[in-house]
Amino acid sequence: MRTQNITEIWQRITDHAGETFRQIRGGEFTYTVDHKSLRPDRTNWTIPKTHFDRALELVPLDNTRVVQHLFGPSYIYAVLMDPRIRRSDW
């Protein structure tokens, strides 16, 4: 059963836009956000908000494998597993 609300988590993600995040293999990135997607600064594509919503059904994430079916799994992992986003919720 899902306990996390994408609206609340998306607000956390938005609040930390422009800050540095670290991927599982150590790559650092920042991102920008609009109402429906996240754009990492190391790419020229966006990750839909809906993919973060789907990933919330799987948190906590041990690695990126469980979210390989979503766009930008290493970025999704980095954002959702960061203490600024997850807090003590998962």
Over its length of 90 residues, how does the chain's per-residue pLDDT go in tens digits?
456 799 999 999 999 999 999 999 999 999 999 989 999 999 999 999 999 999 999 999 999 999 999 999 999 999 999 999 999 999
C-beta of residue 85 within 8 angstroms of C-beta of residue 13: yes
Per-residue model confidence (pLDDT) at position 2: 58
Report helix angle 49-56 to 6-15, nearest 10.
Answer: 120
